[in-house]
A and B are shown apart, each in its own frame.
Chain A
Amino acid sequence: MKLNHHIFPVLIVCLILASCQKFVDIKKSGSQSFIETAQDCQLILDNYDLFNTAYPIDGEISTDDYYLDDARYNSDPITLDDRSLYTWRSNAIRNEGTQWVNSYNKIYHTNLVLEALEKLNGKESPGILNNLKGSALFLRAYALWNLAQLYARPYGANAAQDPGIPVHLLSDINDIQGRGTVKITYDRIVQDLSDAANLLNATSSISTRPNKAAAFAMLARVYLSMGNYPGALASASSALELKHDLIDFNTLNKESFNPFVKFNKEVIFHSVVFSQNSVLEAGYGDQDLALINPEIISSYEINDLRKSILFKENTDVPVPSGTYRFTGNYESAVGSSKLFNGLAVDEVYLTRAESYARTGNADAAMQDLNTLLQSRWASGTYRTKTAGSVNDALSQVLGERRKELVMRGSRWTDLRRLNKEAQFARTLSRVVNGSTYTLPPNDNRYTLLIPQEVLTNSALAQNAR
């Protein structure tokens, strides 16, 4: 009896507290939810603006694919930060950390998805979960690799000592990571991509979603940047097994400023660079914007359609005639700096060809090269190319790589890795307002300075100069 006196109020309080907890456990809004289902994960990964745009552009800005004439260089849209970067000043630095933060924001979201998927194990079909997990791993590696091309030294003998970039595997903002090493960074990229290749579906409904071919193609790109040619060869082969469509350039409109449709059949994974930047804007022929390096223009043979498809001659005053602008954007954006830097079949062919050559198989290398070039030349004009030696094959492959992958976000990485070989190393130079600026091979400036804003708010060490 006495006990009851105490128990009843306690029971009532418990009951009320439990039911009021239930009372307040509601969705705040119909259009919002915590990440709770596989569908939620899929919807996050389908966020085009997040995962398919805004990859770092500063690498491309630093390449020799293009140049600016003095008027353009001195014009207002080219910011002073851009000018420093363009001329490879040793103190060239971005004040704002936008490109860095954008990349880590992608990584943050992949981690959110991976954490949510962890909790869904056993609750949804493993097939769906695996594909989602593979997608998140692919996107994490993709963002990390793109950033590493700017701010970590090229992968080489010192990879285990050179500072890498932070590898975040948790979404929690309290999980602070240091720079680690280049090896740690690349190991994670390779691991994520290998896992993704196992988990992903063979195909996807649209090239904004990753699939198995994309994972292998990316793995090939990563291995190539690491100088791991057998790895690149195997991955590229796996990718081409799944997807090997090439566009016949004869079917394209040579006159069009915009010859490629978006998500065309060569595209394995679609992504574009950060577009809030004017340096790489191609324009419409009436403005002297990013002008294509004349060396590239003059390298095409007569029947090579790429010269007329990928470029247009600038015609209107006041643009100097004889200059060319880029019109080969797979993003299908005319005149814009929103350049396609995703994965496409042509690149994979070139990667495999190079890997064959690097591993001593000149014939196979030339066979891949011919397959690609056949689709690039005017119908009936192409004569099969052969190579006298492995080295000849390699030179030819690299020559065609230069002609094929212009303004595709791959030149900076190619410069960084090829500089290691005396045979392919080259000194870049630009002439601006009468002064000449040069960038010799393997210079420290091939690793850009981490943006000031990033350093200010973290304990990360700046790159060497």
Chain B
Amino acid sequence: MYKIYTNKCGMPNGHIQKILLVMRFTTVIIMATILQVSASGYAQKINLSAKNVSLKFLFQEIRKQSGYNFLYADAELRLASKVSITVAAADVKDVLNQVFTGQPLTYSIDEKTVVVKQKERSFLNRIQDYFNSVNIRGVVVNENRTPMMGASVKILGTKQMATTDIDGVFVLKGVASDAKMSVSFIGYRTDTIEIKGRTSFTIQLDPQANLMQELSVVSTGYQDLPKERATGSFEVITKEQLQHSTDPNLIRRLEGITNSMDFRNDLRPVNSANPNAQRSPLANLTIRGKNTLNESVNADLNGNYSGQVLVVIDGIASPYSIDKVNPNDVESITILKDAAAASIWGSRAANGVIVVKTKRGAYGRPARISLNSNFSVTEKVDLFYNKTMSISDLIDAQKLQFVNAGRPLPEVSISSLYGQEPVSPVTEIMDAWLNKHTLTEEQANAQIDALRGNDIRRDYTKYFLRNSVSQNYSLSVDGGSETFNYRLSGGYDRILNNTRNSGSNRLVIGYSASLRPVKNLEVQGNITYNVQKNKEQAAENRISGATNSTFFPYTKLADDQGNPLEIGKMYRPGFVDLFEKTYPDGQFLSWRYKPLEDINEGYNDIKSQNLNLNFSVNYKIVKGLSAQLIYNYSAGRVEDNTLYRQNSFYMRNLINYFTTSPASTDPKTGNPVSPYVRQLPLGGQYNTSLTKSSNQTLRGQLNYDQLWNERHQLSAIAGVDITQNYSIVKADGYYGYDENTLLSDNKLDYKTMIPIIFSEDFSGYNGEYIPNLSTGFIDNKVRTFSWYSNAAYTYNRKYTLSASVRKDISSEFGRGTNIKGTPYYSIGGSWNIGNESFYHSDLFPVLSLKTTFGYNGNVNPSVLARPLITYSLVNGENNLPYAYTSFGTGISNSKLRPEKTGIWNIGVDFGLKGNRISGSLQYYSKKTTDLLANGALDSSSGYTNITFNTGNLKGYGVDFSLNSLNLQSGPFKWNSNFLFSFNRVKVTKLYASSASVAGQVVSNSSGSYNEGYDLSRVFGYQWAGLDPQTGDPRGYLNGQPVAISNSIEGNTAYNAIQNAPISSLKYFGSAVPVYYGSLRNTFTYAAFSISANVLYKLGYYFRRPESQVLSYSKLYSNIPVIQGVEYNNRWQRPGDEAHTNVPSVVYSSANQNRDNFYYYSSINVLKGDHIRLQEINFSYSIHVRKNWFVKNPRVYMNMSNIGILWKANDQGIDPEVFDYPNPRSYSFGFSANF
């Protein structure tokens, strides 16, 4: 640098060397780039005449004439005011004195060089300054007049500067009253203001339209990039956007504000007593359609699902579940959709990546406290949403069935249960009347009629369901000095679920700190602890809200006074009475069951804790190049405890079951055994399992980011990533457990079949093993080694080229893939047309074009080319340990190959003049080759269908987003955000031998896919109406109508229709929405803001929910299932077929052909298109006095799941509701800073 410098200037070495030596002690590098040195010919006297010229101009003139060189910093020269001067044949010094008069600069002459520097102020000057200086205070606001935090305010020509706080306020002391200040904020035009002795300012900054794009920073988890330079498809969700909802679950808050994400609401459970309620909403989420198919809905021990969206939290791939993140701690979320964005995550990126960045402190920001609190109430679920046949009709159907079937029930027996499976109470009454003659016709009818008025849904609603209430509190403190910053946060959520004895709470505490101990080194640490407790009814005590062999549609749970009622469970009515009459002496526990009391006799508590530690060290090696070392350790601990108290029905039954009675016999010899021996101790049962997980990631990464000549910018990263995830489950169980004394009794003989209370159980056995409480260990270890690199080169802020590559080696792949597998890569380019000199569109000042291509992968750890065996302790039949294989653990498949998804993405970002409208449009096309999916197989291989390379997919679609400012007039403003996604996934090639017949395709059984069709699609059997004579449903066989009756002929016809080619079916189209998105309108009036979000899903079909389609085999089963209201519309007499498609009544509980044909026929497929009003938000920023300790108080209200606005089907069915709709919820919240 030194050499070049001198050569260029051609100066005598001695002089310049001296100067440079001085400089070296100051800021060698910075100065070198901005210093300008002039040298030229030789002259003595100066002649000048200039008006209002810059010093720079004058220096050049003086140099020309005198040969003096000038050394100055450009920045300093800018402080100087312009000069008017007229001199003739003046001495250099005189000229200079004249020039520097009144300037904040001074000079010195060293040999022939004039060194310009800032004036050292004299004591007097300083005193003078003091009196001339003022203390100023100001507020920086944006175009909406909302305060801007973090704007920087500088006093020009001095080192004085300040940053605005959360209220947009800055304070500067001792500012020269004639100084100028510049106020800047990224994305806004910098404003320069003369102070002119004023002390109070309100400064409004105007957005700089073509900088808007630069504002957002996208994060891939490995690096942060300005969006302008990112070629890939990224979508950034800011913390402000996340405020639209108060859902404590982060994933759910993304609905309605993100593009191309489809939340399968129809699968979202709503009743907390439903075991599915525990499932993460991540399980059903797709980004840009389904890419990989994995039917498994169970997470592995680390909570990861294959074939799912990958979640990255603070740069680490799923260190812990995203459900544990407190949404108030989230700074931003970036969704990576295409190859350039996601392929850096390699083998797990095919389904998209969600990158979560949590909030951190900031250097040089004063401490502030933020508080947010809200309270939500969710209505009870509407069990009556599905219109059903009347209870009375159900009872009549049961009566009719009993008469028609003509099968008398055996006498109730307390010793032999074979054939004594419980039947419905109506059947029992009918049997007592018609066969046992213990009831007269009048008595029987009276008893039956008494049931007609009952409805278990009413009782569930009244005694079991409740409004769900949730409270959320979050508090954080953050701030920082120049070398240290921190953030401490705490969040607490408390939720009462919508069923009794069910609820949860969550505490999340986080602390993060960054330190710059020495120059070029930054150390960061982050520690997050969360603890979540869920409390539920114990599984066996639980009332699921459904009807089953214990709960019939006409079961009554409580009497009119609300006292819990007894119902029969597990055994036939009459069993308990007979039992108590036979053994009155109290040798046995009671067999009576009151469900509303029983739910209190135990619990299922899950306590999950997670501690995440993250350390990173970042060292700047030279300018532009830095090295980073990150270590993340996440320790999880989930305790799952279930207690059944002795008083629970489950426990009483179990103890009784293993108590001998006079009917008991020795299972070996068949001889009677001595009665009244309790073989299972009194007390409860306590099951406990502890899952401990430890996930570790170590990453070394080099970052390079350099700008040359203001034109060439290269940013690149390269690194290696080593992870190990290990988890172990320890399970244990105890009999005879007493929760007060903690005593238990496990000294039991589990290996001998012992006599039971019955001479024969339901299966005819007279002995049983004591159920082994699940004890033992399961573990799971995954190690992955990856290397990756990513580089992007930008020329002149116009053209960007990017490339990435990654290779994963994992213990989950099997050796072949590790050795032979190729790396995943991507390339991309973008063209920022808006920055081109030739481009002068007034309409679209912002315009950029992007395109990318690359490969993403998906790992399916369960698909292995050779089987794993699972060890099992003992088989009860032969008492030998054994091992087994299962689909889930691999199958011998020599042709297994990894699947790959190639994605091509092209997009355009645009902004209209004045930023009134901005948005982006993207088209993508994805090709998945060697798709791993469940496919049909030659049955002689030993499997009918397994997961293997079944075929190729092609997906394509459009993402479009548009943000507009529709109206702005004074304090009133109307904004719209419109999101639109189009997505279609088709099967282009199928290797599997499969799905060639109608039956497989129509029911989507055994992994049926077809070339040329949508991946998720709906077919229906051609419907030929009802048989005019019998009311049987009819289909077409070889073009002729054929009745699917409940006979061997009907069976033959049904089988023939099932096995007909798929062309015999009616094809509807996609089963998942093809067009979907949302429209949010926000109206702001001063401090008030109201917004409403409408979701739409279009272009798809659905089959009517099973609960609404009449099934006689379910109606007439021993455990009657109440049928949909269309029962009233069934075919009853010839002629009815003209106005109904509902088949006539047949009595069969086993043959489902007729019901299945009807269910899968084309008449039950409807258009799924619908629009729903998802939520309305209201917010009000309370105006407070400026010196109040509370800042920015805001109250808000939110109403969600409001209802469906329009649906395409005319049957009144919400296509996303399978049992009952998500109930409405209302929340109220408050947030403020201190």
Contact = CB atoms under 8 A, between A and B. Distances in A.
A95 interface: yes
Interface string B681-725: 000000000000000000000000000000000000000001000
Contacts of A83: 1048
B877 interface: yes
Interface in B935-974: 936-944, 946, 948
Contacts of B1150: 76-79
Contacts of B936: 456-457
B778 A453 contact: no
A262 to B, nearest CB: 8
A265 interface: no
Contact of A25 (B410, B811, B940): B811
Nearest to A316: B410
By secondary structure, the A interface counts as loop
A43 B942 contact: no
A79 B419 CA distance: 19
Going nearest first, the 10 A-B pairs with the smallest beta carbon separation are A108-B942, A76-B1150, A80-B1051, A43-B883, A20-B785, A171-B892, A105-B942, A334-B764, A24-B811, A173-B941
A173 B869 contact: no
Nearest to A457: B936
A318 B410 contact: no
Contacts of B871: 31-33, 43
B709 to A, nearest CB: 31
B408 A318 contact: yes
Given A21-B809, A21-B818, A80 B1151 contact: yes
A93 to B, nearest CB: 7
B875 A47 contact: yes
B818 A104 contact: no
Contacts of A20: 722, 785, 809
A301 interface: no
A105 B887 CA distance: 11
Interface in B396-438: 407-408, 410, 416, 418-419
A420 to B, nearest CB: 28
A30 B939 contact: no
A46 B882 contact: yes
A458 B938 contact: yes
B44 interface: no
Interface string A424-465: 000000000000000000000000000111101110100000
A361 B875 CA distance: 45
Nearest to A272: B877
A239 B1000 CA distance: 47
B884 A104 contact: no
Contacts of B894: 172, 174
A109 B938 contact: no
B941 A79 contact: no
Interface in A15-44: 20-21, 23-35, 40, 43-44
Contacts of A419: none
Nearest to A13: B787
A287 interface: yes
Given A47-B883, A47-B884, A334-B760, A32 B783 contact: no
B698 to A, nearest CB: 11
A26 B723 CA distance: 13
Given A32-B868, A101-B942, A112 B892 contact: yes
Given A31-B778, A48-B882, A84-B1052, 8 more contacts: A24-B818, A30-B778, A46-B878, A80-B1051, A80-B1153, A168-B941, A170-B892, A336-B764
Contacts of A32: 868-871, 889
Contacts of A33: 868-869, 871
A76 B1148 contact: yes
Contact of B939 (A89, A100, A170, A284): A100
Among B416, B670, B763, B883: residue with most chain A CB under 10 A: B883
Interface in A324-370: 333-336
Nearest to B1059: A452
B810 interface: yes
B529 interface: no
Contacts of B668: 261
B921 interface: no
Interface in A149-189: 165-166, 168, 170-177
B781 interface: yes
A29 B868 CA distance: 10
Which residue, A75, A108, A172, A173, has most C-beta atoms of chain B within 10 A?
A173
A253 interface: yes
Given A336-B763, A457-B938, A109 B870 contact: no
Nearest to B876: A48
Question: What class of interface size applies to chain B in its complex with A?
Answer: 35 or more
A284 B760 contact: yes
B774 to A, nearest CB: 13
A208 B877 contact: yes
Interface of B: 407-408, 410, 416, 418-419, 668, 670, 722, 760, 763-765, 777-785, 809-813, 815, 818-819, 861, 866-871, 875, 877-878, 880-885, 889, 891-895, 936-944, 946, 948, 993-994, 996-997, 999-1000, 1047-1048, 1050-1052, 1055, 1058-1059, 1148-1151, 1153
A104 B419 CA distance: 34
B1059 A456 contact: yes
A454 B939 contact: yes
A295 interface: no
A24 B783 contact: yes
B941 A104 contact: yes
A320 to B, nearest CB: 15
Nearest to B1055: A95
Contact of B764 (A34, A107, A333): A333
Given A79-B1150, A173-B946, A23 B785 contact: yes
A258 B670 contact: yes
A28 B780 contact: yes
B410 to A, nearest CB: 6
A101 B893 contact: no
A34 B943 CA distance: 19
A30 B778 CA distance: 7
Contacts of B940: 100, 104, 165-166, 168, 176-177, 454, 458, 460
A106 B938 CA distance: 15
A28 B670 contact: no
Nearest to B868: A32
A17 to B, nearest CB: 8
A101 B765 CA distance: 29
B1051 A28 contact: no
Contacts of A284: 416, 418-419, 760, 764
A256 interface: yes
A212 B209 CA distance: 88
B943 A101 contact: yes
A88 to B, nearest CB: 12
B996 A456 contact: yes
A152 to B, nearest CB: 13
A324 B485 CA distance: 88
A316 B1050 CA distance: 35
Nearest to B861: A28
A90 to B, nearest CB: 11
B937 A208 contact: no
A235 interface: no
A415 to B, nearest CB: 23
A317 B763 CA distance: 21
B870 A31 contact: yes
B938 A176 contact: yes
Nearest to B764: A334
Contacts of A106: 942
Given A256-B670, A456-B997, A26 B783 contact: yes
Given A48-B880, A80-B1048, A80-B1153, A26 B811 contact: yes
A24 B1151 contact: no
A15 B434 CA distance: 85
A303 interface: no
A398 B174 CA distance: 121
A23 B722 CA distance: 9
